[in-house]
Structure 1
Amino acid sequence: MMKNTHPTKEKVIQAAGTLFYQKGYHATSVRDIAKEAQVNISLISYYFNGKQGLFETIVIDHLEANLKLLEESLGEHFLTIVKRILHYKMDNYQLSCFVHREMMLDSTLLRELLVTYIAKEDSLWASILFQADDISDLRYGQELQLLQMKGMLQAPFTVPWYQRGERSSTEAKRYFIDKYVENIRQWFKGDPVE
């Protein structure tokens, strides 16, 4: 999932993602991450310039993967795109929960990171849902639909439900996605309104 290729760097990213999901960003120390990744603590500073740099890497990689998914799906029916996004988020469940949980917090760091990504995502969704060239071309009702659609895609990942046994199976994830996409389709009554 991550674009980085060095195995040690990947171990640190995976360990941090798990701990950030379990404990939250502020409750996780660099020492915790190094221990979980089984690396020397100095490697985190070397690769990421500390915990904040590691946090930024994880969030940016996740947001860029979402944007890439949207960009590659342009021209497809919006429900197909919704399914792809939900599959990606379910396949990266802990990361998705962590990133969405952190996005709900009001922090300067996140605001700086997110402003560009949110604008790009809004523009892509405006194109997908309404064939608009720019978010500013949307009418008020369309803006509300866009906001609702994005909220519906984030909602399942803002409060983690602990997956155990059959709940975490591929079949259970597929069932959830199929039912959730059906709810979105019904909400849009087949297609986004103009």
Structure 2
Amino acid sequence: MSKAMSITKEKVAEAAAYLFNNKGYSGTSVRDIAEKAGVNVSLISYYFGGKKGLLEFLMSSFLEGYLYVLQDAYEKLEKQSARNCLIQLIEEVILYQQGRSQAARLVHREISIDTTLVREIMTTYLMKEKYYLNAILDKGMKQKEFKPLSKNMVIMQMRSMLFMPFLYPQYIKEIYQFSVNDRYFISKYLNIIQDWADDALCINYDANTIAGKENKQAPLAAP
């Protein structure tokens, strides 16, 4: 595929993610997507096989990139502590979503709907997600880095924190006056999740370190 074709395909995907988020999948036509992307309607069928194929492309491409981030952290387990792998994973997942906020919102929302496509995603991408996260937690617990907690419960809790801002960007904006694309917000939110991982999971987490972090942290918004 030529560079020009690749750019056109990316424009179509970005337009579709935006419209699916703001008008809904059913409320968005192929013509709407073509108009938003500034391309001929026929290109959508050519590149994606239609609107359904475009949705599948958006979800699979986002999740493939997401799994790559998890796999990278998993592969570092032999050389790094489980704690360091997890802290780095948290940062990379947040930054990955920030760079693809429209796709992230779409994927997280679609996964909440029971469809054939979502069932396929559950058995492929999300089972791999569970495998990588479980492996990191398992090593941490065996090496006495992490507390002996329920890995399933930890994973569910961590996922909720990692995905929440990108699933509900309008809530973040209207209630707290932050944007998920704002570097300050992402930096502070990332610190909170990483501190949660240390506080909730790590056995040998120094109380003095906790106090130091609390003193350094600024509130997200003025009371």
TM over 0.5: yes
Distance across 1 between alignment mates of 2:198 and 2:40: 54
Q: 1:177 aligns with which of 182, 186, 202?
A: 186
State the Cα distance separating 1:83 from its structure 2 match: 1.1
CA contact (8 A) 2:30 2:51 kept: yes
State the Cα distance separating 1:86 from its structure 2 match: 0.6
Please show how residues 96-115 of structure 1 align to structure 2 within 5 Å: 96-115=104-123
1:29 maps to amino acid: S
TM-score (norm 2): 0.71
Distance across 1 between alignment mates of 2:193 and 2:38: 43
State the Cα distance separating 1:80 from its structure 2 match: 1.8
Please state if 1:187 is matched with 2:196: yes
Moved over 3 A (4+): 166-170, 185-191
**RMSD between superposed Cα atoms in Å:** 2.8
Partner in structure 1 of residue 87 of structure 2? 79
Please state if 1:149 is matched with 2:149: no
2:36 maps to amino acid: E
CA contact (8 A) 2:111 2:118 kept: yes
2:113 maps to amino acid: L
Distance across 2 between alignment mates of 1:188 and 1:169: 21
CA contact (8 A) 1:142 1:193 kept: no
- Farther-moved stretch of structure 1 (54-63 vs 16-25): 16-25
Distance across 2 between alignment mates of 1:103 and 1:192: 27
Task: Report Cα offsets for 1:83-132 as digits up to 9, x if no partner.
Answer: 11111111211211111111112222222233200000111111222228
Q: Which ranges of structure 1 fall in alignment gaps of 5 or more residues? A: 133-138
Distance across 1 between alignment mates of 2:185 and 2:121: 30
Partner in structure 2 of residue 89 of structure 1? 97
1:8 maps to amino acid: T
State the Cα distance separating 1:8 from its structure 2 match: 2.3
State the Cα distance separating 1:36 from its structure 2 match: 1.1
TM-score (norm 1): 0.80
Distance across 2 between alignment mates of 1:188 and 1:6: 39
Q: Which ranges of structure 2 fall in alignment gaps of 5 or more residues? A: 141-147, 204-223
Percent identity, please. Answer: 39
CA contact (8 A) 2:165 2:180 kept: no
CA contact (8 A) 1:12 1:33 kept: yes
- Farther-moved stretch of structure 1 (14-23 vs 182-191): 182-191
1:131 maps to amino acid: K
Q: 1:131 aligns with which of 131, 139, 148?
A: 139
State the Cα distance separating 1:51 from its structure 2 match: 0.4
Partner in structure 2 of residue 67 of structure 1? 67
CA contact (8 A) 1:185 1:191 kept: no
Distance across 1 between alignment mates of 2:66 and 2:155: 16
Task: Report Cα offsets for 1:35-82 as digits up to 9, x if no partner.
Answer: 111222122112111101010001100000101111122325112210
| Max Rg structure | 2
Partner in structure 1 of residue 27 of structure 2? 27
Task: Provide the aligned length of Structure 1 versus Structure 2.
Answer: 182
Distance across 1 between alignment mates of 2:137 and 2:69: 15
